[in-house]
Amino acid sequence: MKKSLGAKIIVCATHVWVVGTYDKTGKPNIMTAAWGGVCCSQPPCVAVSLRKATYSYGSIGERKAFTVNIPSADAVKQTDYVGIYSGRNTDKFSVAGLTPVRGDLVDAPYIQEFPLVLECKLLHTIEIGLHTQFIGEIVDVKAEASVLGENGLPDVGRIIPFFYNPENRTYYKIGEYLGKAHSLGRVE
């Protein structure tokens, strides 16, 4: 029996991505974004949604670039910090003890200490309502050598990503392996 809960964001879990930008003075900034996701395979694109009120909003518009930095569970406190405060009056990299590195291909900084980073060029800006969606083309992905598995790709068990539960405002680690996609569900 289903119960109606109304018109709300109730989705159980979202990823936790940290968006990196340079402001107009060249100061590197980061903010945590749980609204977003992959949105296209060719060109490879991700979307992140930000409120106009955020400091990062203006920076993405000006630099036409951002990075997506995927944290490990052991960075949950730093990641939460980055989502609470504004870069308008704080150097969040410095307070969080994180190191900005200039992107190789885009005009945005990434986080040296995070295991997986995506350099993105702004492709589309979609005004939706309270949030504006920025669609960025992934022009390069960089990973720490220590998180790569034998196949040369990032290993979930070494990155240990975590998730945000919007309805209860809580974080959860990734858990147990369930099986192979495009395989478990095959029928004769």
Per rule CB under 8 A, is residue 123 in the interface with a second copy?
A: yes
Judged by CB under 8 A, the residue of 18, 19, 47, 60 near a second copy is 47
Residues 134 and 50: their CA atoms lie apart, in Å, by 8
Are 5 and 153 contacting, i.e. CB atoms less than 8 angstroms apart? no
Selected binder of a second copy within 23, 39, 62, 99 (CB under 8 A): 39
Q: Is 29 an interacting residue with respect to a second copy (CB under 8 A)?
A: no
Q: Which is nearer to a second copy, 62 or 113 (CB)?
A: 113
Encoded tokens for 116: 């997986």
> Which residues in 60-119 contact a second copy (CB under 8 A)?
68, 70, 73, 76-85, 95, 104, 112, 116-118
Which residue, 19 or 24, is less far from a second copy as judged by CB?
19
Determine which helix (DSSP H) or strand (DSSP E) holds 96, and give its type and residue range. helix 92-96
Structural tokens at position 123: 């492709």
Q: For residue 111, give the nearest of 121, 94, 120, 98 by alpha carbon.
A: 98
The residue among 26 and 37 lying less far from a second copy, judged by its C-beta, is 37
